[in-house]
A = this chain, B = another copy of it.
Amino acid sequence: MPIITLTTDFGNDDPFDGVMKGVILNISPDVKIVDLTHNVLPQDIYQANFLLSACYHYFPEGTIHVCVVDPGVGSQRKPVLIQTKKYFFIGPDNGLFTSVLEKEEIVNVVELTEKKYWLSNVSQTFHGRDIFAPVAAHLTKGVAVNDFGKQINRSDLVKLKINKPIKTDNGYKGIIQYIDHFGNLITNISSELINGKVKGKLKNHYFQDLVSSFAEAKNNTLTAIKGSSGYLELFVYKGNAQMFADLNVGDEVEIALI
């Protein structure tokens, strides 16, 4: 039985995700629903794009990833269903799937226009419940992708401009692209670019070395590690690097390979 994942900025206080699950189970009682996270920063499409692209491929082939971070809900932005070789992605066409689609082979893209697969009353503010959840549920029941609407070109999908690291004489210049719950700072510099050791600078903070486990680091010291999402991370052992160094997403980081 297929899996539907949910990624939203609804938070954990309101029952918005619970209602989406009710809608899905009403149509497709046996589906498995997994929360990826509901705590994307409100309306932060860039963060949703990063988190989704870091996680989607851990799920079985055929998984339907529904992502609802949707500041343009009810406006002219298109609701879309994207079929790739291995997965399905459903959500607003606002760039949420930019990084995923750099990695996946697209098979089909459909603008959701066929209202018989939506709830009968569609609000102007909650398409997660009224359009995306029921479409995902009907997809698990065998409705063909093309039945949900009209095919559109891949090139018509909205794309975010994602900040990529820049090669320097002796290393790379990048940014902090995400900060996790532990205060670890995830850069946009891929771990694959790094062989051997590094030293670097993050705003006015310097760091040296590249440890291979958190426990190898000195206390109270900003330290680099190849993180679990495939990027160079900066952390403070048994501490919180964000609070330690007062840093934020978007701050510049520069490394030298040594």
Kindly identify which residue among B12, B58, B129 contacts A129, using a CB–CB cutoff of 8 Å: B58
Q: Is the CB of A60 within 8 A of B29?
A: yes
Q: A216 contacts the other chain (Cβ, under 8 Å)? A: yes
Protomer copies: 3
Contact residues in B for A188 (Cβ distance below 8 Å): none
Contact with B along A11-51 (1 / 0, CB 8 A): 11111101101110110010010111111001100000001
Q: Is the CB of B25 within 8 A of A123?
A: no
Q: Is the CB of B59 within 8 A of A25?
A: yes
- Residue among A3, A7, A54, A215 with the most chain B CB within 10 A? A215
Q: What size tier do the contact residues of chain A reach?
A: 35 or more
Contact residues in B for A15 (Cβ distance below 8 Å): 7, 36-37, 51, 54-55
Contact A42/B74 with A15-B51, A18-B37, A22-B59 known, Cβ cut-off 8 Å: no
Closest B residue, CB atoms, query A21: B34
Kindly identify which residue among B1, B38, B42, B214 contacts A125, using a CB–CB cutoff of 8 Å: B214
Kindly identify which residue among B11, B43, B63, B123 contacts A227, using a CB–CB cutoff of 8 Å: B123
Contact residues in B for A241 (Cβ distance below 8 Å): none
Report how far A26 CA is from B225 CA in the complex, Å: 28
Contact with B along A224-237 (1 / 0, CB 8 A): 01111000010000
Q: Is the CB of A212 within 8 A of B55?
A: no
Q: A238 contacts the other chain (Cβ, under 8 Å)? A: yes
Contact residues in B for A7 (Cβ distance below 8 Å): 15
Contact residues in B for A59 (Cβ distance below 8 Å): 22, 25-26
Q: Is the CB of A13 within 8 A of B34?
A: no
Kindly identify which residue among B1, B11, B51, B215 contacts A181, using a CB–CB cutoff of 8 Å: B11
- Residue among A10, A13, A36, A74 with the most chain B CB within 10 A? A13
Q: A102 contacts the other chain (Cβ, under 8 Å)? A: no
Report how far A12 CA is from B84 CA in the complex, Å: 28
Q: Is the CB of B37 within 8 A of A215?
A: no
